[in-house]
Amino acid sequence: MIAEEVYFHPDADVRFPDPVEIDGDVVAIGGNLSPGMLLSAYRQGIFPWFSDDDPILWWSLNPRFVIFPGRIHISTSLKKRIRRNQFDLTVDKAFDQVIYECRDSPRSGQDGTWITDDMVEAYLHLHSLGYAHSAEAWIDGELAGGLYGVSLGGCYYGESMFTNRTDASKIAFTALAGVLVDAGFGLIDCQQHTRHLAAFGAVDMPRRNFLAALAGELEKPTIKGDWGRYFPEFPQSALWEGLRGR
C-alpha cells in the first residue's frame, strides 16, 4: 500500500490510512492543518512535516525515536550545569516566542525550515485550545532556549527546540521531562533520530511497537489547558529535586 491523497473538512475527526499497512514513512498527502486533523493524526501516530513548496505530507516513521521519561538519561555535564541554577524555567509562558525562535534558528545542514507560516498558525491555535505546550529557559528576563510540542493522554509529542545559550533547551527539556514523569506520562515522541536526543536515552522503536505503546498512553486523560496553571511549581519534580541535589 502507498500513501493516499486526502481531503477532509477542517473540523473532521479523520481516519488516516493505517501506518502499519503503508510502504514507507509517508502515510498521506494533502488535507489541512486544522485542529481536528492534527489531533486525529497525532492520535494515530502520524505527524505533518513538509516545506513551503510541498503539499502537506503526513508521516509515521519506521522506526520511531522515543524517550521513556522515567528512564531519561542526564549526562554528568548537564547535571553540573543544572546545579549552577543559571536559568529561570517556565512552562507555557511564551509559547509564541518559542515557536518563532524554533522557526528562525539556523540549523546545521539545512537551508530553510519545515516550520512554515501555516505550521506556526496551526500550532498557535492548538496552544490556544490547550493541546500544545512549551517549556522555556530564561536569563535576566531574556528567552535563552525552549521547546514546544503537543500533549495527548500520556504522550508528549516533541516538535522542535532552540537554544541561544549553552544547554538552555536541554535544561528546559529536562525540567519538562521530570514534570511529565510525575504526571504519569509514559512516552515522549521524538519522531526521528538525533544525537542530541539520543544523549537523553532516546531509542528506536519499530513502528508497530510504537503504535501499541501510544495506544496505551492515549487511554490516560489529557491534561488540557495552561500548564503554567496546572504545574504552578514548575520545574519542581522528583527528578528535578534529585538533579539539584536536594
Residue with cell 522528583: 238
CA separation for the pair 156, 150 (Å, rounded)? 6
Mean pLDDT of 42-62: 95
Structure letter (DSSP) for residue 222: P
pLDDT at 56 over 50: yes
- SS3 per residue for the chain: CCCEEECCCCCCCCCCCCHHHCCCCEEEEECCCCHHHHHHHHHCCCEECCCCCCCCEEECCCCEEEECHHHCCCCHHHHHHHHCCCCEEEECCCHHHHHHHHHHCCCCCCCCCCCCHHHHHHHHHHHHCCCEEEEEEEECCEEEEEEEEEEECCEEEEEEEEECCCCHHHHHHHHHHHHHHHCCCCEEEEECCCHHHHCCCCEEECHHHHHHHHHHHCCCCCCCCCHHHHCCCCCCCHHHHHHCCC
Structure letter (DSSP) for residue 220: S
- pLDDT of 114 reads 81
CATH code linked to domain 4-60: 3.30.70.3550
Neighbours of 23 (CB within 10 A): 8
**Domains of the chain by residue range:** 4-60, 65-243
If pLDDT is split at 50, 70 and 90, which confidence band does 170 have?
very high
Structure letter (DSSP) for residue 17: P
Residue with cell 517549556: 135
- pLDDT of 72 reads 97
Architecture per CATH, domain 65-243, reads as 3-Layer(aba) Sandwich (3.40)
- pLDDT of 112 reads 44
pLDDT at 92 over 60: yes
Output the pTM of the full model. 0.93
Question: What confidence tens digit (pLDDT) does each residue in 184-219 have?
Answer: 999 999 999 999 999 999 999 999 999 999 999 999
